[in-house]
Amino acid sequence: MNSNFGLLFLLIVPFSSAETTKQLEANLTCYGELSFFLNGKQFGRNDQTNITSTYSLKPGTEVLAVRCRNYRHKPWILGSVSNGLVTDTRWKCTSLQEHLKKNNLFWRNPYFDDSQWAQAIAKFSNQEANPWGKVLGIRDEALWISTADENHTRLFCRRRLSDLSLKRAKDSLMGMFQATIDDVDHALLHRPRSQHEVGDVMQCFKKCQGDSQCHSFNFEHDSVLPTRKCELNDATKGQDPVNYVRRPGYTYYENAE
C-alpha cells in the first residue's frame, strides 16, 4: 500500500460505511398499510393509504426497507429522501415469502443478501397529471414501485444506500472504507486518472489503491449489467468541491483523511 493511500481501508466498525453526519428525512407512502425499517429495526408505520409519513434517518443508516400490505389491491410504494434519493427501478422488491429469510437473515437487515430480488417495476411518477395524482410531501420524480407479480398482498422493497454493507460482511478484515450516505448518487467529475469496468466496489478500491495519484473514485453502484464503471480521480471532493455533483447511480469514495 502506498503512502498516499494508506488511509483508505474497508471499514470494520458496524454501520459506519454509509453514515451521514447530518440528519436526513424520508417521506414515504404506500398504497396500503406502510411499515418502514431502518437497518433492520421497525421505525414507523402508517395505515392510511395516500398519507405521507416523514421519518428521520439517523447516522448509520445503510438500508431503507419498506413493507406495504394491501389485501384488496396490488400494493405500491412511493417516497423521497432529502438527499435526492427517490423510489425508482433501482430499488429491489419482492412479494414472495421464500425470498424473505434467505441466509437466515431478515429481509430488512443490512446484511441480507437481496441479490435474488428483482429490480422494482414502476407505474408512474408523483405528478398531478398521472392517474393517482400528486401525493404531497414527495418529490415529483419519485415513482410508484412494486413487483411485476399480480395478486400479491404484501410488498417488500429495499434500497441499499451503498453496496458496501454487503461487501463489508465478506471483506471485514480489510479495514476501512469511506463513503457517506451523502455520497450516494454523487461523483467527482473532470478529475480522471483512469476508468475501468469492474465487478464490484472492492475491485475499484484495489485499482485506486494501486495508483499513487488516485485520491478518490466514483463507483457505479446501480447497474443491471454484471460490470460497473469505476472512475479513479486525481483529487478529493474537498480539493475540488465545484466538480462534486449529483450523479444518480454512482457513489463517491475517498480515503479517510
Ligand X SMILES: *[C@@H]1O[C@H](CO)[C@@H](O)[C@H](O)[C@H]1NC(C)=O
Of the candidates 160, 28, 150, which has an alpha carbon nearest to the alpha carbon of residue 95?
150
Question: Cell match 419482492: residue?
Answer: 94
Residue 44: exposed, middle, or buried by beta-carbon count in 10 A (0-12, 13-18, 19+)?
middle
Q: Which of 6, 133, 199, 210 binds ligand X (CB under 6 A)?
A: 133
H/E element, 145: strand 143-146
H/E element, 54: strand 53-57
Region from 5-13, 136-144, 157-165, 206-214 binding ligand X, contact rule CB under 6 A: 136-144
Region from 4-12, 24-32, 168-176, 241-249 binding ligand X, contact rule CB under 6 A: 24-32
The C-alpha cell that represents 204 in the structure block: 475499484
Q: Which of 4, 82, 153, 223 binds ligand X (CB under 6 A)?
A: 82
Region from 12-20, 79-87, 100-108, 153-161 binding ligand X, contact rule CB under 6 A: 79-87
| Minimum gap (Å) between residue 152 Cβ and ligand X | 9
The C-alpha cell that represents 27 in the structure block: 417521506
How many residues bind ligand X (CB under 6 A)? The answer is: 16
Question: Looking at beta carbons only, is 149 or 211 nearer to ligand X?
Answer: 149
31 binds ligand X (CB under 6 A): yes
* Residue 83 region by backbone torsions, left for phi larger than 0, else alpha for psi between -120 and 50, else beta: alpha
What is the DSSP-derived secondary structure letter of residue 86? B
Interface pattern 39-78 for ligand X (x via CB under 6 A): ----------xx---x------------------------
The residue ranges that bind ligand X (CB under 6 A) are 25, 27, 31, 49-50, 54, 80-82, 132-133, 137-139, 150-151
